[in-house]
Structure 1
Amino acid sequence: IDTTQYGIGLTKFVEIHNSLGLHCTRQQAHTPESIHAAMIELQAMYPKAGACEMVSLSFHERNLSVARHVVCRYFAMFKPGLIQQWKAGRLQWWCFWAAGVNDIWAVDQHDKWFRFSLALHTSIEPFSGHILWTRVWHTNCNSQLILSYYMDTVQQFGFMPLVTQSDPGTKNFGIANTQTMLQQMHDPALSGFVQHQWMHKKNIMPEIAWSQLCHHFTPRFKALLEQGIEAGWYDIDNTLQL
């Protein structure tokens, strides 16, 4: 609709909305019993999802608009043990400072899938929270491979960060050296200064990403991998599955 010439009233908008079957949460009027089947299916895939996450998952994966209090009542009725588990969790609070977008690119590896011969690597732009890459391969210790992730992203976006950041370790030397060289090429005044931060304990943003992955995705995916190993579909000793 050309809004400079035409308009649409709220009544007409609601009429169109309803004609498309897009009913709001109150109109759908779900109860703990009516969402029971959908919740069982979602919990099979997301066993650690809480109430807020289930509201979002119900909407995006089952087209159900469910109020949070209804989901909470469902858990209280059918999954009281899960509520106690969630209440037992403890969160840690940290500050992460970034001057703006592309001030820092934080990179990190995830080694907890090595049992399945899978290794993960990611990079986060902390100010926006944008995930620059998440790659899966049989190793995350090859500095040239990890450097290729960085170079592909720089080429795709057409820019690089002011500083890169990672945990200590030779696996990130490629990124550290290349980032420093590129910055010094653009600004000779930076000669002699490393443009990479080595963080022993406070590489927070990638750790948050791995925590979310472990919470939302890993439990069900690991169960599928276990099933594949037991059934002989997946050979952890065959790196490329050829």
Structure 2
Amino acid sequence: MYFFLSHLALTDISFSSVTAPKMLMNMLMQTQSISYAGCISQEFFFVFFGDLDSFLLTSMAYDRYVAICHPLHYPRIMSQNLCFLLVIVSWVLSSANALVQTLLLARLSFLRDNTLHHFFCDLSALVKLSSSDTTINQLVILTVGSVVIAVPFICILVSYGHIGATILRRPSIQGICKALSTCGSHLSVVSLYYGAIIGLYLFPSSKNTKDKDVIVSVLYTVVTPMLNPFIYSLRNRDMNRALRNILRRGGFSA
């Protein structure tokens, strides 16, 4: 679990670093511009780390499934080689999708002084600004993008479906508490991440769509990666003990 958490932490830091520094710089300098090369680079790394986040959460869901449904065979199934393989495949698939999307975007033509109604170079927003034929781009975004998001999400649902069925076959308070302790943090992160994406792409709003897109994008690009360390820290016994001591004293001593 901690092997996957280390990669997830790196991905979260990188994911939020793709958009937040430029946004804060624009706010500080009172400018709202970005170069073409910077925009293309930002789009590549945004797609890459976004996909990598999704694949890592899927690998962690499988890890939780094996831990609960096959606890006696966990060391044999989740071997070091399999963990490395899952991470390598996640990096390769994320790189491939980001490279394809970026190359297709680079072939498009744009007029000068374009206005992008977003706080970063969002792929779908860039495609809408292009003066070229974007049929291929939209088709690739719809198919590949849907697969990259939908397939990992379905795998996570299947994993938790098996976990739920295993718990219900032998219901006990101790078993439920242990399962929640094992899966609670991961389930919270998955709910935040995919909840924002589903709300953004599957349930579009007819009013204030641009404002809603920006708000939801801030949620899953900045807020969720920031909350992940706190969510997983709550499972750490030392962190819980320190938090209880602070609450018991009523705050920090001066």
Bigger strand fraction: 1
Give TM class, smaller chain: under 0.3
TM-score w.r.t. structure 1 length? 0.22
User: Which structure exhibits the higher relative contact order, with contacts defined as CA atoms closer than 8 Å and separated by 6 or more residues?
Assistant: 2
Normalising by structure 2, report the TM-score.
Answer: 0.22
Q: Which has the larger radius of gyration?
A: 1
Q: Which has the higher helix share?
A: 2
